[in-house]
C-alpha cells in the first residue's frame, strides 16, 4: 500500500487557513460548518501521516525545494504527531461546543475566522523545523487567540486581553532577539542545523537565555503567570479551553525543541535546568493554593492551569520524566479543555460564575457536572485516566533518580489538586438553599454538554492507551543517555543523593 | 575624525536621546512626536548600516503609519477625555528608569558577547541566497529570500496582518463613530490631495516594480499606498464603517489566496510547493500582497473593519 506523501504535511496548515479565508468571505454559517469539517479532515490526514510515520519513522519536507540553512523545513516526528492529534481533538470538541454556544449570528461572524486562523497557526508552529517560522506561528496564534478573549467586549475581558497582548508581545520580542543572535552566530534558523553549529560560550548562553525567557513568559510559568488567570477566566468557554489546552502548551513545546533538540554545548545547562524545574515547583504550589482561594469557577480552573503547567517543567531537572511529562501535557490538554467547557455550561446554566451559586446544580445539568468530574479525575491523577498514567510515569522517574524532593512535590501537587476540585464538588452536590430554589436554571444546548463529555472521556481513555502512545514518543537527542555534554542523565535534586 | 564617524556618532547619540524622551516624557503628545522622530532616526541608521530595505520599511511603517496611528489614538483619547490634552504628568512613568536600565544592560551584554564571534563553519543562509540569485532573473536578494526561498514565511506574515484585521473586527467601536471630517471646502487641502494621492500611487507602483532589482517590494509599496489612504481618511474623503463590504474583504484576503494557490499549485506540476516559477508569478504574488497590505494597514489606521464613501 502506498504511503502518504510528505506534501500532505502542508494540508495541516492550509486546510484551516483556506477555511478561515472562506469564513471571512462567506460569513458565520459557512465558517461554523467549515470549522467542524476541517477538524474531521485533519483527523483523517493525521491517520495517513501517522501510518507513514509508523512505517518510515520521522520525515520532513523542504519547502520550495531548498534545504536549510536558507530553506524552511517542515518535519514530523513522534512529539509533534502526538501534539497535532491533541490540537485536532481539542479543536473538534471545542468547535462543536462553539457551534451552539457561539452560533452563527453576529458573534459567529467575528468568531469563526480568527478561530480557524489560530488552528492553522498552531499546526504550522508544531510542524515547523525553523526557529523563525515557529515565531510567526506563535504570533498569529497569540494574536487570534487574544482577540477572541474580548469577543463579548466586556470591560474585564478587554483589560485581560490587553494585558495578555502586551506581555505576549514582550515575550515574543525577547524570543526573537534570541533567534537573531542564533542566526548571527550560526547562519541558520533550522533548529537542528543551528544547534549543531552553536559554538558554546557566552554568546550561546545569551541566545538561550533570551529564547527561554521569552517563551517562559508566553507559557505563563510561575512567576510570569500574572496575565493568565484573568485572560483564561474571562474568555468565552471554547476559547478558554483552547487557550489553556493548546496555546500555552505550544510555547512550551518550542522550549523543549530548543533545550532537547538543539544539543546546546553549554556546561551550566544542568543548574539552569534545575532552576526551570524549581519554577515549575513554585507554579505547582502557588497555583494550587491560589485555586483554593478563588470565588469564581472559571478563575479556579484558570489557576489550576497555572499549577498544572508546573509539572511540565519537571523534565528540565529530571530527564527520565520525559515520557511522563509529554503524557501529562496531552492528558491535561484534553482534561482542561473538557473542564473549561463544562464550567462554561455550569456558568451558562446559572447565569453567574460565583462558586456559592453552585449548590443543587447536579440535578439540573448532570451531563456537564459529570464531564467536570471526569476531567477532575484525570487532573487529580486518579486511576484510570491519562493524568494517572502521566503522574505515575513522572513519579517512577523521580523515584528511580532518588529525587525525593520531586516525589514529595508530585504527591503534594495531586493532593492540592484534589483539594481545590473537591471544593467544587462539595458545593455542586450540596442541597440548594430554600432562598435560591426559585432561581431559574437555563439548560445548555445538548451539543455543549456532549462536547465537554466527549473530551473528558478522551482524557480518561488515555489511561488505557499508554503503551501505543508512548511507543510513538522517542527520546529527544539531548536526553539520550550520555548523548550531550550538558545534561548527564539522570539528575539529582537532593543534595544527599549520589 | 572623518565625516562618516561624526555622522554615526550623531545618529547614535540622537537615538539614545530620542528613546529616553519617549519613555521618560511627561507629556503624551510630546512622547508620540519623539517616537516618530526616533523612527526616522532609526531609518537613517539602517541606511548607514547598508540595509536600505529595512530603512524603507522603518520609515514607512515604523515612523509613518505607526506614528499616524498613535496620533489618531491620541485624538480619540482627547474626544473621550478632553482633560488629558496638554496634561503634564508630575513625574515620568515609574517604569521608565527600570526599562531603560534593563534594556541598556541587555544591549551592552549582547554587544560584549557578539564582538568577537567566529565565522561560521559551513554554508550560511545569506551566502546560499546570493549564490542562488545568479540563476534567477532578479537582482535583489531580499526579494529572493522573501518570495522564492522563504515565501512560506512571507505568507504567514500576511496572515498575521489578516489576524490583526480580524482582531479589529472584534474590537472596533460598535457605534459607527466616524472620524470628524475636516472641512473639505479648504481649497488648499483639495489641491494638496489632488497632487499627493496620485504621487503616492505612483511611488507605490514604482516600489513594487523596483523590488526585483533594488530595495522595495510589496510591504513598502503597501505602506505607501496605505499612506495615501490615510490622507483620504483624514480629509474625510473616506469614512469609517463598521461593516466591510464583500469587495473589501476579498481585497484583504487576496494576498493569502493568490500566494496559497500559486504556492500549492506547483505540486500539480510536479514541482516542490512554493517553488515560484517565473517573473510573472512574482509580480502576481507581489501585486496581490500589496493590495492586501495596503488595505489592512489603512483599516488598522482608521480603526474600523471597513471603509465607505462619505455621504453626499
For residue range A242-279, list pLDDT tens digits in order: 999 999 999 999 999 999 988 787 777 888 889 999 99
Nearest-Cα residue of chain A relative to residue B112: A203
pLDDT of A496 higher than 70: no
pLDDT at B90: 65
Among candidate residues A76, A62, A53, the one with its CA nearest the CA of residue A4: A53
Nearest-Cα residue of chain B relative to residue A151: B170
Task: List the grid coordinates of A377.
Answer: 479525575
- Helices of type H across A102-227: 106-127, 131-149, 155-186, 191-197, 202-218
B256 and A113 within 8 Å at the Cβ level: the answer is no
Q: DSSP assignment of A34-88, as one string?
A: HHHHHHHHHHHHHHHHHHHHHHH-SEEEEGGG--TTTS-EEEE-HHHHHHHHHHH
Q: Is B102 on the interface with A (CB under 8 A)?
A: no
Q: Is B115 on the interface with A (CB under 8 A)?
A: no
Element (H, E) at A94: helix A78-101
Where does residue B216 fall: left (phi above 0), alpha (psi -120 to 50 degrees), or beta otherwise?
Answer: left
Cβ-proximal residues to A5 (8 Å cutoff; 6+ apart), any chain: none
As a whole number of angstroms, the distance between CA B309 and CA B29 comes to 30
Which residues in chain B are closer than 8 Å to A146, comparing Cβ atoms?
167
Which residues in chain A are closer than 8 Å to B120, comparing Cβ atoms?
185-188, 197
pLDDT digits (tens, 9 = 90+) for B274-293: 988 778 888 899 999 999 99
Q: Is B284 on the interface with A (CB under 8 A)?
A: no
B148 and A137 within 8 Å at the Cβ level: the answer is no
Among candidate residues A272, A134, A256, A262, the one with its CA nearest the CA of residue A198: A262
A64 and B272 within 8 Å at the Cβ level: the answer is yes
pTM for the model stands at 0.93
B156 and A136 within 8 Å at the Cβ level: the answer is yes
How far from A389 is each of A277, A402, B156, CA to CA, in Å? 20, 20, 37
Mean of pLDDT values over A469-482: 76
pLDDT at B256: 96
Nearest CB to A21; choose among B113, B149, B253: B253
Nearest-Cα residue of chain B relative to residue A72: B150
Which residues in chain B are closer than 8 Å to A147, comparing Cβ atoms?
163, 166-167, 170-171
The mean pLDDT value of chain A amounts to 90
B253 and A24 within 8 Å at the Cβ level: the answer is yes
Which residues in chain B are closer than 8 Å to A188, comparing Cβ atoms?
120, 124-125
Residue A48 Cα, gap to closest chain B Cα (Å)? 19
Higher pLDDT, A412 or B311: A412
Peptide bond into A197 cis (omega under 30): no
Sorting pLDDT into bands at 50, 70 and 90, what band is A409? Answer: very high
Q: How many CB pairs below 8 A link A and B?
A: 152
Q: Which neighbouring-strand residues pair with A62?
A: A73
Residue A252 Cα, gap to closest chain B Cα (Å)? 21
pLDDT digits (tens, 9 = 90+) for B111-127: 888 877 777 777 888 88
How far from A117 is each of A114, A143, A162, A167, B102, CA to CA, in Å? 5, 10, 20, 21, 35
As a whole number of angstroms, the distance between CA A133 and CA A170 comes to 18
Among candidate residues A317, A313, A320, A332, the one with its CA nearest the CA of residue A475: A320
Nearest-Cα residue of chain A relative to residue B262: A64
Q: DSSP assignment of B140-180, as one string?
A: -HHHIIIIIISHHHHHHHHHHHHHHHHHHHHHS-TT-----
Among candidate residues A32, A26, A21, the one with its CA nearest the CA of residue A101: A32
Mean of pLDDT values over A112-124: 97
Among candidate residues A311, A205, A193, the one with its CA nearest the CA of residue A252: A311
As a whole number of angstroms, the distance between CA A190 and CA B125 comes to 10
B122 and A199 within 8 Å at the Cβ level: the answer is no
Mean of pLDDT values over A303-321: 93
> Which of A5, A12, A69, A194 should we substitute to test contact with B (largest number of B Cβ atoms within 10 Å)?
A69
Residue B180 Cα, gap to closest chain A Cα (Å)? 24
State the angle between helix axes of A28-56 and A8-26 in degrees (0 to 180), rounded to the nearest 10.
180
pLDDT of A479 higher than 90: no
A136 and B163 within 8 Å at the Cβ level: the answer is no
pLDDT of A343 higher than 60: yes
B170 and A147 within 8 Å at the Cβ level: the answer is yes
As a whole number of angstroms, the distance between CA B291 and CA B67 comes to 21
Task: List the grid coordinates of B103.
Answer: 534594556
Which residues in chain A are closer than 8 Å to B154, comparing Cβ atoms?
none
Q: Is B8 on the interface with A (CB under 8 A)?
A: no
Q: Is B93 on the interface with A (CB under 8 A)?
A: no
Among candidate residues A86, A92, A65, A152, the one with its CA nearest the CA of residue A472: A86
Question: Among residues 9-38 of chain B, which lie with CB inside 8 Å of chain A?
Answer: none
The number of beta carbons lying within 10 Å of the beta carbon of residue B12 is 13
Which residues in chain A are closer than 8 Å to B252, comparing Cβ atoms?
24
pLDDT of A287 higher than 60: yes
A70 and B109 within 8 Å at the Cβ level: the answer is no
Burial of A60 (0-12, 13-18, 19+ CB in 10 A): middle
Report domain extents, chain A.
289-432+439-480
CA angle A443, A447, A449 (to 5 degrees): 60
Percent of chain A whose pLDDT exceeds 90: 71
Higher pLDDT, B110 or A488: B110
As a whole number of angstroms, the distance between CA A310 and CA A279 comes to 7
The number of beta carbons lying within 10 Å of the beta carbon of residue A159 is 14
As a whole number of angstroms, the distance between CA A83 and CA A78 comes to 9
pLDDT of B173 higher than 80: no
Q: Is B169 on the interface with A (CB under 8 A)?
A: yes
B162 and A62 within 8 Å at the Cβ level: the answer is no
Which residues in chain B are closer than 8 Å to A183, comparing Cβ atoms?
125
Nearest CB to A140; choose among B128, B149, B159: B159
B273 and A72 within 8 Å at the Cβ level: the answer is no
Residue B148 Cα, gap to closest chain A Cα (Å)? 7
A25 and B114 within 8 Å at the Cβ level: the answer is no
The residue with cell 544547534 is: A195
State the angle between helix axes of B96-115 and B3-24 in degrees (0 to 180), rounded to the nearest 10.
150
Residue A203 Cα, gap to closest chain B Cα (Å)? 5
Which residues in chain A are closer than 8 Å to B118, comparing Cβ atoms?
199
B260 and A14 within 8 Å at the Cβ level: the answer is yes
pLDDT of A487 higher than 50: no
Higher pLDDT, A491 or A351: A351
Sorting pLDDT into bands at 50, 70 and 90, what band is A481? Answer: low
Burial of A156 (0-12, 13-18, 19+ CB in 10 A): exposed
Q: Are B188 and B257 in contact (CB under 8 A)?
A: no
pLDDT at B181: 55
A114 and B159 within 8 Å at the Cβ level: the answer is no
Q: What is the SS3 assignment for A239?
A: helix
Nearest-Cα residue of chain B relative to residue A206: B110
pLDDT at B180: 56
Q: Is B164 on the interface with A (CB under 8 A)?
A: yes
A187 and B249 within 8 Å at the Cβ level: the answer is no
Nearest-Cα residue of chain A relative to residue B125: A70
Q: Is B145 on the interface with A (CB under 8 A)?
A: yes
Mean of pLDDT values over A91-103: 96
As a whole number of angstroms, the distance between CA A473 and CA A492 comes to 24
Among candidate residues A107, A112, A97, the one with its CA nearest the CA of residue A32: A112
Cβ-proximal residues to A145 (8 Å cutoff; 6+ apart), any chain: A114, A118, A239, A242, A243, A247
Point out the least confidently predicted range of A60-64, A490-494, B116-120.
Answer: A490-494
Among candidate residues B86, B230, B59, B170, the one with its CA nearest the CA of residue A117: B170
Among candidate residues B162, B109, B99, B23, the one with its CA nearest the CA of residue A207: B109
Nearest CB to A203; choose among B114, B127, B129: B114
Peptide bond into A223 cis (omega under 30): yes
Mean of pLDDT values over A106-126: 96
A7 and B267 within 8 Å at the Cβ level: the answer is yes
pLDDT of A28 higher than 90: yes
> Which of B273, B296, B303 should we substitute to test contact with A (largest number of A Cβ atoms within 10 Å)?
B273
CA angle B123, B50, B221 (to 5 degrees): 100
Task: List the grid coordinates of A299.
Answer: 478563575
Which residues in chain B are closer than 8 Å to A71, comparing Cβ atoms?
149-150
Q: What is the SS3 assignment for B139?
A: coil
pLDDT at B1: 61
Higher pLDDT, B232 or A92: A92
Amino acid at each position: 500500500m502506498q504511503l502518504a506523501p510528505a506534501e500532505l504535511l502542508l494540508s495541516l496548515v492550509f486546510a484551516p487557513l483556506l477555511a478561515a479565508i472562506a469564513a471571512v468571505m462567506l460569513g458565520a454559517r459557512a465558517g461554523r460548518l467549515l470549522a467542524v469539517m476541517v477538524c474531521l479532515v485533519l483527523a483523517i490526514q493525521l491517520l495517513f501521516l501517522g501510518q507513514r510515520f509508523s512505517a518510515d519513522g520521522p520525515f520532513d519536507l523542504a519547502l520550495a525545494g531548498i534545504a536549510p540553512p536558507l530553506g524552511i523545513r517542515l518535519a514530523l516526528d513522534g512529539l509533534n504527531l502526538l501534539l497535532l492529534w491533541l490540537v485536532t481533538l481539542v479543536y473538534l470538541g471545542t468547535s462543536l461546543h462553539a457551534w451552539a454556544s457561539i452560533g452563527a449570528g453576529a458573534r459567529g461572524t467575528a468568531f469563526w475566522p480568527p478561530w480557524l486562523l489560530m488552528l492553522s497557526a498552531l499546526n504550522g508552529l508544531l510542524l515547523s523545523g525553523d526557529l523563525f517560522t515557529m515565531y510567526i506561528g506563535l504570533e498569529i496564534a497569540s494574536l487570534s487567540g487574544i482577540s477572541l478573549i474580548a469577543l463579548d467586549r466586556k470591560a474585564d475581558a478587554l483589560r485581560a486581553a490587553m494585558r495578555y497582548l502586551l506581555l505576549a508581545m514582550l515575550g515574543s520580542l525577547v524570543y526573537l532577539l534570541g533567534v537573531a543572535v542564533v542566526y548571527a552566530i550560526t547562519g541558520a534558523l533550522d533548529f537542528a542545523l543551528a544547534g549543531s553549529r552553536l559554538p558554546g560560550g557566552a554568546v550561546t548562553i545569551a541566545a538561550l537565555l533570551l529564547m527561554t525567557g521569552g517563551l517562559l513568559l508566553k507559557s505563563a510559568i510561575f512567576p510570569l503567570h500574572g496575565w493568565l488567570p484573568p485572560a483564561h477566566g474571562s474568555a468565552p468557554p471554547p476559547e478558554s479551553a483552547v487557550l489553556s489546552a493548546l496555546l500555552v502548551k505550544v510555547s512550551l513545546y518550542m522550549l523543549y525543541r530548543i533545550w532537547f533538540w538543539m544539543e546546546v554545548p553549554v556546561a551550566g545547562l544542568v543548574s539552569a535546568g534545575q532552576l526551570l524545574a524549581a519554577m515549575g515547583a513554585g507554579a505547582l504550589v502557588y497555583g494550587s493554593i491560589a485555586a483554593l482561594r478563588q470565588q469564581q469557577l472559571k478563575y479556579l480552573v484558570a489557576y489550576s492551569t497555572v499549577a498544572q503547567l508546573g509539572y511540565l517543567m519537571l523534565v528540565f531537572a529530571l530527564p527520565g520524566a520525559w515520557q511522563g511529562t509529554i503524557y501529562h501535557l496531552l492528558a491535561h490538554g484534553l482534561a482542561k479543555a473538557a473542564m473549561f467547557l463544562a464550567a462554561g455550561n455550569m456558568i451558562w446554566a446559572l447565569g453567574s460564575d460565583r462558586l456559592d451559586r453552585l449548590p443543587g446544580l447536579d440535578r439540573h445539568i448532570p451531563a456537564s457536572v459529570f464531564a467536570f468530574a471526569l476531567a477532575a479525575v484525570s487532573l487529580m491523577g486518579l486511576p484510570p485516566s491519562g493524568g494517572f498514567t502521566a503522574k505515575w510515569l513522572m513519579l517512577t522517574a523521580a523515584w528511580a533518580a532518588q529525587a525525593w524532593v520531586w516525589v514529595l512535590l508530585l504527591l503534594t501537587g495531586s493532593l492540592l489538586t484534589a483539594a481545590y476540585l473537591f471544593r467544587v464538588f462539595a458545593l455542586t452536590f450540596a442541597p440548594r438553599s430554600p432562598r435560591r430554589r426559585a432561581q431559574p436554571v437555563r439548560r445548555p444546548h445538548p451539543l455543549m454538554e456532549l462536547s465537554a463529555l466527549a473530551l473528558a472521556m478522551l482524557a480518561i481513555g488515555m489511561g488505557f492507551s499508554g503503551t501505543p502512545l508512548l511507543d510513538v514518543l522517542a527520546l529527544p537527542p539531548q536526553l539520550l543517555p550520555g548523548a550531550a555534554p550538558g545534561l548527564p542523565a539522570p539528575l539529582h535534586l537532593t543534595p544527599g543523593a549520589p | 575624525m572623518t565625516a562618516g564617524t561624526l555622522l554615526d556618532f550623531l545618529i547614535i547619540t540622537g537615538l539614545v536621546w530620542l528613546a529616553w524622551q519617549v519613555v521618560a516624557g511627561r507629556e503624551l503628545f510630546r512622547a508620540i512626536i519623539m517616537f516618530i522622530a526616533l523612527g526616522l532616526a532609526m531609518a537613517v541608521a539602517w541606511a548607514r548600516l547598508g540595509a536600505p530595505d529595512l530603512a524603507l520599511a522603518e520609515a514607512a511603517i515604523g515612523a509613518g503609519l505607526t506614528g499616524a496611528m498613535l496620533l489618531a489614538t491620541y485624538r480619540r483619547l482627547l474626544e473621550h477625555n478632553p482633560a488629558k490634552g496638554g496634561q503634564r504628568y508630575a513625574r515620568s512613568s515609574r517604569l521608565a528608569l527600570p526599562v531603560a536600565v534593563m534594556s541598556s544592560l541587555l544591549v551592552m551584554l549582547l554587544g560584549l558577547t557578539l564582538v568577537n564571534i567566529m565565522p561560521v563553519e559551513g554554508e550560511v543562509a545569506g551566502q546560499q541566497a546570493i549564490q542562488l540569485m545568479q540563476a534567477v532573473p532578479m537582482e535583489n536578494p531580499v526579494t529572493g529570500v522573501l518570495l522564492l526561498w522563504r515565501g512560506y514565511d512571507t505568507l504567514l506574515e500576511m496572515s498575521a496582518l489578516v489576524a490583526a484585521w480580524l482582531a479589529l473586527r472584534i474590537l472596533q467601536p460598535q457605534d459607527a463613530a466616524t472620524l470628524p471630517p475636516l472641512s473639505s471646502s479648504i481649497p488648499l487641502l483639495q489641491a494638496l490631495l489632488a497632487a499627493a494621492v496620485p504621487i503616492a500611487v505612483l511611488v507605490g507602483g514604482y516600489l513594487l516594480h523596483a523590488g526585483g532589482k533594488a530595495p522595495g517590494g510589496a510591504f513598502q509599496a503597501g505602506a505607501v499606498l496605505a499612506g495615501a489612504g490615510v490622507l483620504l481618511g483624514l480629509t474625510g474623503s473616506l469614512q469609517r464603517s463598521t461593516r466591510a463590504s464583500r469587495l473589501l474583504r476579498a481585497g484583504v484576503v487576496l494576498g493569502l489566496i493568490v500566494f496559497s494557490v500559486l504556492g500549492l499549485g506547483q505540486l500539480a506540476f510536479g514541482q516542490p510547493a512554493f517553488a515560484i516559477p517565473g517573473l510573472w508569478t512574482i509580480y502576481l504574488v507581489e501585486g496581490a500582497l500589496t493590495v492586501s497590505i495596503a488595505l489592512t494597514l489603512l483599516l488598522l489606521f482608521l480603526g474600523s473593519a471597513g471603509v465607505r464613501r462619505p455621504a453626499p
